[in-house]
Structure 1
Amino acid sequence: MTDATLTPRRPWILGIFLTIAGAAGWWAAFQLTIDKFLVLEHPKADLNCNISVLVQCGKNLGSWQGSVFGFPNPILGLGGFAAVIAVGVSLLAGAQFAKWFWIAFNVGIAGALVFVAWLIHESIFDLGTLCPWCMLVWSVTIPLFWVVTARNLAQGVYGGLLTRFGRGLLSWVIPITVICYAIVALIAQLVLDVIHRL
């Protein structure tokens, strides 16, 4: 056997996806953090993300939902998405992680998805707004959860019995993500009448 045969293949696609998704999420969290600082300095500041009464981030940043844990939510995004970028870049560099790491990573992303689902609910039903940077975070977190979960199942992280299911799920990640987007869009339309208010 040659060295090439013994060396496991690097998961290029997963590494690239995690790096790009993490960077997009981090950028959105960074923009929200900057806007939060701006509002704290100048309460009446006109934020770039405030496009209309419906599409804005000012109301979200100023609400209690925007600081659930006693500090601005975007700070969680800065740390969380930096971790996603680090994992993606590490995979591209040839790093291999233990099962416990993948489980912990998956749990972290699942927690992020639950938090995002709650924020989507609050934004649409209570605040009545669609925050542009928040929506970018939503758009990134949803596929991150499905990709990492399907990858872990396919690689036997949760046991060999689920490997086949995981491989099948991997092929459905894009349609599932699109369905999730469509559900959020439909709810937003039904509750906020987005089409007529844009």
Structure 2
Amino acid sequence: MSEQRTRPVFYAVWLIIASVIGWFAAFELTVEKFALLENPKEALACDLSPFIQCSTNLESWQGSVFGFPNPIMGLTGWMAPLVVGVAILAGARFPRWFWAAFGLGITFAFGLVCWLIGQSLYDLFVLCPWCMVTWAVTIPTFFATMVHLTRNGTFTRNEKVMARADTLMPWVPLATIVAYALIILLAQLQGLDFLGEMSRILF
């Protein structure tokens, strides 16, 4: 469905909500990183158990994969969907190239999250609470963005495909739940003891 014919209000609202939640999680992780630097031997507030904690993730090389703490990417990166969401509600219309660039950024974030999930499950063997909050909002944001970029003509100008994509947006929550369930299943197959705690946090 062409963006000129309808304003994606629900998508815009979700971008705002996800951005606020994601930014807050990144902020909390940044605070915890500072606390860890000041008192390396002290347990962090988010260190809930040997399997649910922030310290291991923040101290690992995966926690600074680009040479600086990952939360800094969250503090800056979540501003983009926030601005886009607010702009859409204000009536802004973006060109195709803008949506393509936005989609590329969201895809990068999703890919990074998938990689970090794999590292947490199969290398670090711990889950960071605030990282999981970030995962929880990045996954549906990616699904919703891919559907939106299809229905607004960024990926294709085929009217039938665009209309079909518009009908898929209500299925994003279900796809998200399936993704959460897959993460829990992978944790179970890995034999980690934090399965029950992760289920409680995600659901």
CA distance in 2, matches of 1:169, 1:12: 15
TM-score (norm 1): 0.91
- Counterpart for residue 117 of structure 1: 114
C-alpha contact 1:143 1:173 (8 A) present in aligned 2? yes
Unaligned runs of 5+ in 1: 1-6
In 1, the alpha carbon distance for the partners of 2:154 and 2:6 equals 17
Query: Does structure 1 residue 140 correspond to structure 2 residue 137?
Result: yes
The answer to whether the Cα contact below 8 Å between 1:22 and 1:85 also exists between their aligned partners in 2 is yes
1:56 and 1:151 mapped to 2: Cα distance?
35
SS of the equivalent of 2:78 reads: helix
Structure 1 window deviating more from structure 2 (158-167 vs 58-67): it is 158-167
Determine the structure 1 residue equivalent to 2:194. 194
Q: What are the within-5 Å matches in structure 2 for residues 1-198 of structure 1?
A: 9-161=6-158, 162-191=161-190, 192-195=192-195
What secondary structure is seen at the aligned counterpart in 2 of 1:52? coil
Q: Read off the aligned partner of 2:50 and give its amino acid letter.
A: V
Q: Which runs of 5+ in 2 are unaligned?
A: 199-203
The one-letter amino acid paired with 2:62 is: Q
Q: Deviations over 1:48-93 (max 9, x none)?
A: 1000001001100000000011000111111111111111111111
**Distance in 1 separating the partners of 2:186 and 2:167:** 28
Q: Pick closer, same or farther for the CA change 1:86–1:160 going to 2, 3 Å.
A: same
C-alpha separation between the residues in 2 aligned to 1:105 and 1:196?
A: 35
Equivalent residues of 1:28, 1:136 under 8 A apart: yes
Tell me how large the CA RMSD over aligned residues is: 1.7
Q: Normalising by structure 2, what TM-score?
A: 0.89
Letter of the 1:155 counterpart: N
CA shift in 2, pair 1:147/1:78, >3 Å: same
CA distance in 2, matches of 1:104, 1:111: 11
Decide whether the 8 Å contact of 2:51 with 2:193 is kept in 1.
no
Cα shift readout 1:137-187 (whole Å, capped 9, x = no counterpart): 101110001101101101111122231442243232111111111000111
